[in-house]
A = this chain, B = another copy of it.
Amino acid sequence: MRIAVDAMGGDNAPDEIVSGALEAIELLDKDDEVVLVGPQSQLLSSFKKLRSRAGISIADAPDVIAMDEKPIEALRAKPKSSISVMAKMAKLGQVDAVISAGNTGACVAAFQMRMRNLEGVNRPGIAVVFPTFDGPVTICDVGANIACKPINLYQYAVMASVHSKNILGIESPRVGLMSIGKEDAKGNEAVKKARELLRNDPNLNFIGNIEGRDIFKGVCDVAICEGFVGNVILKLTEGLVGGLFKAIKHELMTEKLRLAMKFKPIMQRIYKKYDYNEYGGAPLIGINGTALICHGSSKSRTIKNAVLAAKKYHTEKINDKIVEYLANTSFQTSSQNEKI
């Protein structure tokens, strides 16, 4: 398969991106190819290796969309940006997957516009895997859709369950719906209506409402929420883990330097064990294709893992399984249900 990687996406582009792509091709099959999308002349002059390396090629995209640009305006103004170019390549079937650590809003907009949604899917969502003490928890959506309808939340549950089962190997993923209390009466209107849809689908392992604390308690494998809430969850987790490690380090350093030195490798091991970079980016799930969005601060390891994750997503035919699932439920027609 051919996997496009945005060479200019993220805070550490292009160096870490190119390194990640080079690492990835060592682990792919011989007939696989990584296509770096970015300014060809710049990439070739900066990375001599790229000229001769088998399994890697460059698709020219002279423009770059910055991390803080307004997505829609930037896509309109820069049709030759790496994000625009890779989306078009996917649309034309020139690549089988797209990966970017660039402007998330621009990625979501471009991929959705060019690649379109899967049959039966109303809105795609970004699914992030949190490594927790009790195993991986898939959270969807974390920012693709901040005006969520009940049908969107229902479909996130379906799609994230298919992902959890086929990518993470969890046989019957327990699905929790993020709310502000476990009782049925808790939550806003979208949550309450989504709960009815979820409850009425016997093929889902729906466990009901969950609360913020439940993500790290091993009660669910999939957590469903609208994009605003999911985005806050994602970034809060990142900030809190960082803040807590900082507090521990400070406490150790001020009083017991020797103890701090002993503790350092253990902290590093924990950090690595629960590092979501291991999962290599988050699929934009529900799109008609394979699209992974990586953290803006991605280093080569994340990009390498994202390439491998894209391959698995494609090989496991996640999209076919989603389409098949939705075709066999009573909520299959996207146009009919846009109002739910």
Question: A residues bordering B, Cβ < 8 Å?
Answer: 68, 70, 105, 132-133, 143, 146-147, 178-183, 185-188, 211-217, 225, 227-229, 231-244, 246-248, 250-252, 255-256, 259, 262-263, 266-267, 269-270, 273-274
Contact = CB atoms under 8 A, between A and B. Distances in A.
Contacts of A133: 243, 246-247, 250
A286 B88 CA distance: 52
Contacts of A248: 266-267, 270
Contacts of A242: 213, 216
Contacts of A236: 212-213, 215, 233, 236-237
A256 B251 contact: no
Contact of A188 (B146, B183, B216): B146
Contacts of A269: 251
A263 B215 CA distance: 26
9 contacts: A70-B183, A188-B228, A212-B234, A216-B239, A217-B239, A229-B229, A233-B236, A241-B244, A248-B267
A186 B104 CA distance: 12
Nearest to A235: B212
Contacts of A262: 256, 259
Nearest 5 interchain pairs by C-beta: A213-B239, A212-B235, A216-B243, A212-B236, A180-B231
Contact of A237 (B181, B186, B240): B240
Given A180-B227, A247-B133, A239 B252 contact: no
Contacts of A229: 228-229, 232
Given A70-B185, A147-B188, A237 B259 contact: no
Nearest to A246: B133
B232 A217 contact: no
Contact of A251 (B70, B227, B266): B266
Q: Which of A187, A213, A214 gathers the greatest number of chain B CB atoms within 10 Å?
A: A213
A233 B236 CA distance: 7
A256 B266 contact: yes
A226 to B, nearest CB: 9
A166 to B, nearest CB: 26
Nearest to A73: B185
Contacts of A68: 182-183
A5 to B, nearest CB: 23
A262 B182 CA distance: 38
A213 B235 contact: yes
A215 B235 CA distance: 10
B247 A274 contact: yes
Contact of A231 (B212, B238, B270, B273): B212
Given A147-B188, A251-B266, A251-B269, A212 B232 contact: yes
A263 B270 contact: no
